[in-house]
Structure 1
Amino acid sequence: MTVPMAAGRGPKYHRIADTLRAEIQSGELEPGKQLPAETALTSRFGVALPTLRQAIGILRAEGLIESRHGIGTFVKEARRRQRRSRNRYGRARDDQQLLSADFEHRIVFAGREPAPPYVTEAMEIESGTEVVVRRRHLHDKTTGQLEEIGASYLPVDIAGGTFLEQPTVVPKALFLCMEDLSGQQYTHARDAWVSRLPTAGEADIFNLAPGAPVLHVTHTARAAEGNVLEISESIWPADRVMFIDEYEIPEHGQAPEARSDI
């Protein structure tokens, strides 16, 4: 159902963009469909034209819409999927669904394997220590196209001997299952993103053109005590996704936890 404007306390143009983005992501505004005229949108949201155009500019910059000279503004046929890392946990806690609920999840492996070096380092375990591994493929529900491959690495003392060692899709977000099993809550996460050339296997399974890059994110989640509850990695063709990180800019100087190189 169409709503006038998303609730919230942010600037109006952000809330308008949030509303239209949600309608695009839900399919209410379908790929290729023309957006209503500016006069209709300003009337719907009760704002002036410059405010509306700021919202439209956000969606255009995100690659969700495109303007066709003399015709109007349309939802892009092939838009990039958006990952808003800061919003994912809260949404999943609220609706008790999978983190990527819009995809068809296929678990291609579940069981124990020796942890890769970066996992043993993060978990502070000895080289060769076994962890529970869950490997997944995520497909577009409509087209069946493979959109993401990934894996999660879980401590054996929490996930071992549980349903997480079975190659079945979990009933809710994996982190919620881990919280139930461990009695601990996820409180801190770190995402590290890199762009790289795919392995031969990745290029084949995604059917990538020669030289096409992938984006690879490694996600480390810890409990309040500092112990690692999960390390996961996800890989996408680089031309299909967009990472968006929105945050408040401090008014006064603050000492950073770590300096930024760029």
Structure 2
Amino acid sequence: MAAAVGGGRAVPRYLQIAEDIVQQIRTGSLKPGDQVPSEADMAERYGVSGGTVRKAMLEIRASGLVDTRHGKGSYVKARPPVRHRSSDRFRRSLRQGGKAAYLAESEQSGATAKVSVIHIGPIEAPDGIAQRLGVDVGTQVLTRRRLYFRNGTPVETATSYLPWDVVRDIPELFAEFVETLQARPAAKAEATELTLSPGAPVVHLVREAVTEEGRVVEVCDTLMAADQFVFEFRIQATD
């Protein structure tokens, strides 16, 4: 017998099915690590065609609540989001204590975090990075690419670009950080690197570190699995 979903609303059947599965995840009926019913099981349960189920699965994957493993099915994600607090995540006291922002935030959320350095070395500054750093395109800069893991799963990539002449003094030069965020679907290569479903939402964050003199001395280009991060901004109401 087909399951009743959607509360009788005039919405497409595949959306009703997707909503039902998402609600099962949010309410805990489907727990972290549980496998989402297969397409065949869903077709039988809801009394619909395989095409309808496949459309529903696209919506379920887009929710960011499941991991899809090729040939193995989809599983409920077991990772609560890391909370980014703009007011304190770059405090000098944390840096001097050896805690990078990501590691400190993951620790606060009860997760096991790890950062792997994939590459470090010189490159020629690409157009967008050169513009932010205030140097000519092709100028040699130091690049450092990192992959961030949370409970063993990659959730973020970050590439930093630093001018050669200030690299040694970077730790104490920063007067402020400027971040620009954009939410968008992951490109194919990005989804593969972060083990996301094709087209899953990501947050593209570009951060500039600025000295007291106003010079940009670091550009960090970061890509995050959107469902794994919550951004919190504190804005002073006074002038």
**Amino acid in structure 2 at the alignment position of 1:79:** P
Deviation at 1:77, TM superposition (A): 5.7
CA distance in 2, matches of 1:105, 1:210: 24
8 Å Cα contact 2:175/2:211 also seen in 1: yes
Structure with larger RCO (C-alpha < 8 A, sep 6+):
2
Question: What residue in structure 2 maps to residue 156 of structure 1?
Answer: 164
Q: Name the CA distance, whole Å, in 2 between partners of 1:245 and 1:86.
A: 7
Counterpart code for 2:221? E
Q: Any gaps of 5 or more consecutive residues in structure 2?
A: 1-30, 33-76, 107-112
How much has 1:212 moved relative to structure 2? 1.1
The alpha carbon displacement at 1:107 in A equals 0.5
Task: Classify the secondary structure of the residue corresponding to 2:102.
Answer: coil
Q: Is 1:215 the equivalent of 2:203?
A: yes
Any stretches of 5+ residues in structure 1 without a counterpart? 1-30, 33-75, 163-176, 255-262
Secondary structure of 1:87's partner? Answer: coil
**Corresponding residue SS for 1:210:** coil
Cα displacement string for residues 48-89 of structure 1 (whole angstroms, at most 9, x for unaligned residues): xxxxxxxxxxxxxxxxxxxxxxxxxxxx96422111122112
- 3-state SS of 1:203 partner: helix
CA contact (8 A) 2:173 2:212 kept: yes
Give the match for residue 194 of structure 2. 206
- Matched with 1:88 is 89
From the superposition, tell whether residues 203 and 132 of structure 1 become closer, same or farther in structure 2 (CA, over 3 Å). Answer: same
Task: Give the whole-Å Cα distance in 2 for the aligned partners of 1:227 and 1:221.
Answer: 8
Aligned residues: 156
Q: How far, CA to CA, are the matches of 1:245 and 1:144 in structure 2?
A: 28
After superposition, residues 2-41 of structure 1 pair within 5 angstroms as: none
CA distance in 2, matches of 1:210, 1:123: 33
How many Å separate the matches in 2 of 1:246 and 1:94?
Answer: 23
Quote how far apart the aligned CAs of 1:109 are.
0.5
Residue aligning to 2:118: 108
Q: In the alignment, residue 223 of structure 2 is paired with which amino acid?
A: I
Report the counterpart of residue 194 of structure 1 in structure 2. Answer: 182
Whole-angstrom distance in 2 between the partners of 1:204 and 1:158: 34
Question: Counting strand residues as a fraction of each chain, which structure ranks higher?
Answer: 2
Please give the secondary structure, in 2, of the residue aligned with 1:111.
strand
Residue of structure 2 equivalent to 1:68: none
Displacement after TM superposition at 1:210 (Å)? 2.7
Shift of 1:207: 2.1
**Offset at 1:153?**
0.4
Hey, what's the Cα distance between the residues in 1 that align with 2:79 and 2:115? 21
| Residue of structure 2 equivalent to 1:237 | 225
Equivalent of 2:237 in 249, 252, 262? 249
How far apart, CA to CA, are the structure 1 residues paired with 2:177 and 2:79? 30
**C-alpha RMSD over aligned residues:** 2.4
- Alpha-carbon distance in structure 1 between the residues aligned to 2:78 and 2:193: 23
| C-alpha deviation, 1:188, in angstroms | 1.8
Kindly provide the amino acid, as one letter, of the partner of residue 190 in structure 1: V
Shift of 1:113: 0.9
TM superposition score normalised by structure 2: 0.59
